[in-house]
């Protein structure tokens, strides 16, 4: 059976007192009808009006690992981004404490480094053709668990690993939980072959409206270059238009020069959203 999703008050307190934590300024987009599970312990209850964003991420990451990694789990896909750090930390703890025998499939250079830094066994898709569960973050999730990913430029490898997993679990803080896409995130990242980026941007605007922008790097001159050696076009869609995201995703994927989109439609099985009040909202795909 899956372990219950719980963190001790002391663990949460560590996140709240760390000098590296961000102060919470966002608000929750959670739907009232969803059931929230409060994370409790036998320790005295933590009296905190609002948890930090980082603590909320940690709660979601721990919940996913506790509920979806068992003694029978052999291969785990490890996502990319800031939230996955906490899931990897929790996974490493359970491997040490319970002697779990798992191999981890990375979705990026960052994920590979996380796996090795925590002493976990690095796997490979050529050897581990079947992935039991993949845990990854998102930039935004709507009520149907349609996702936007790719804020970190890793969506192609993330989508490959998620697509070849038996179960795909999403983890995020409360800011990423929306009723519809566009409430928290305004663009869809698209990985493109370098020679075609101008043509792809023009085609996007002609066929789909909105505006495409080549993502520029902040710590180097020139554009962001993905782990695959490609470029990222961020498509800011027309927020006034109603979107059928399955059709949008297919249309963009069929454009010559497009490698992959950051739209994950009908892929996520379940999501965990860490809340400001110390609870975790979990939601299954409709």
Transcribe 170-201 into DSSP letters.
EEEEGGGB-SSTTSS---EEEEE-GGGHHHHH
Spot the catalytic one: 54, 140, 158, 191.
Answer: 158
Cβ atoms of residues 41 and 9 within 8 Å: yes
Tokens of 167: 């179960």
Cβ neighbours of residue 71 closer than 8 Å, sequence gap 6 or more = 98, 100
Tell me, yes or no, if 158 is annotated catalytic. yes
3-state class of 70 per DSSP? coil
Transcribe 136-175 into DSSP letters.
E--SEE-TT--EE--TTS-HHHHHHHHHTEEEEEEEEEGG
Tokens of 136: 């990854």
Query: Would the CA dihedral through 254, 177, 132, 11 be positive or negative?
Result: positive
Residues 205, 15: Cα–Cα separation, whole Å: 43
Q: How many CA atoms lie within 13 A of 46 on its CB side?
A: 24
Residues 187, 148: Cα–Cα separation, whole Å: 8
Transcribe 78-130 into DSSP letters.
E--SSSHHHHHHHHHHHHHHH----EEEESSHHHHHHHHHTTPEE--TTT---
Residues 96, 118: Cα–Cα separation, whole Å: 10
Query: Would the CA dihedral through 235, 241, 247, 251 be positive or negative?
Result: negative
Q: Which residues are catalytic?
A: 158
């Amino acid at each position: 059976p899956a372990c219950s999703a719980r963190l001790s008050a002391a663990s949460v307190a560590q996140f709240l007192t760390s000098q590296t934590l961000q102060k919470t300024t966002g608000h929750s987009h959670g739907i009232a009808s969803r059931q929230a599970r409060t994370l409790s312990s036998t320790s005295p209850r933590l009296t905190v009006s609002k948890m930090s964003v980082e603590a909320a991420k940690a709660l979601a990451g721990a919940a996913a690992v506790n509920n979806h990694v068992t003694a029978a789990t052999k291969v785990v896909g490890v996502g990319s981004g800031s939230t996955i750090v906490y899931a990897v930390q929790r996974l490493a703890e359970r491997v040490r404490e319970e002697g779990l025998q798992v191999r981890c499939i990375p979705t990026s250079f960052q994920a590979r480094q996380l796996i090795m830094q925590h002493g976990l066994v690095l796997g490979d898709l050529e050897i581990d053709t079947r992935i039991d569960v993949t845990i990854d973050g998102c930039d935004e999730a709507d009520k149907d668990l349609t996702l936007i990913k790719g804020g970190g430029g890793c969506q192609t490898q993330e989508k490959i690993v998620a697509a070849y997993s038996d179960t795909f679990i999403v983890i995020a803080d409360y800011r990423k939980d929306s009723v519809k896409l566009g409430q928290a995130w305004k663009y869809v990242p698209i990985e493109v072959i370098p020679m075609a980026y101008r043509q792809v941007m023009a085609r996007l605007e002609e066929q789909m409206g909105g505006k495409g922008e080549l993502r520029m790097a902040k710590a180097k001159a020139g554009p962001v270059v993905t782990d695959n050696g490609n470029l990222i076009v961020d498509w800011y869609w027309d927020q006034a238009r109603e979107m059928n995201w399955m059709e949008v995703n297919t249309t963009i994927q069929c454009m010559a020069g497009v490698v992959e989109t950051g739209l994950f439609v009908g892929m996520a099985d379940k999501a965990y959203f860490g809340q400001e009040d110390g609870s975790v909202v979990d939601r299954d795909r409709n």
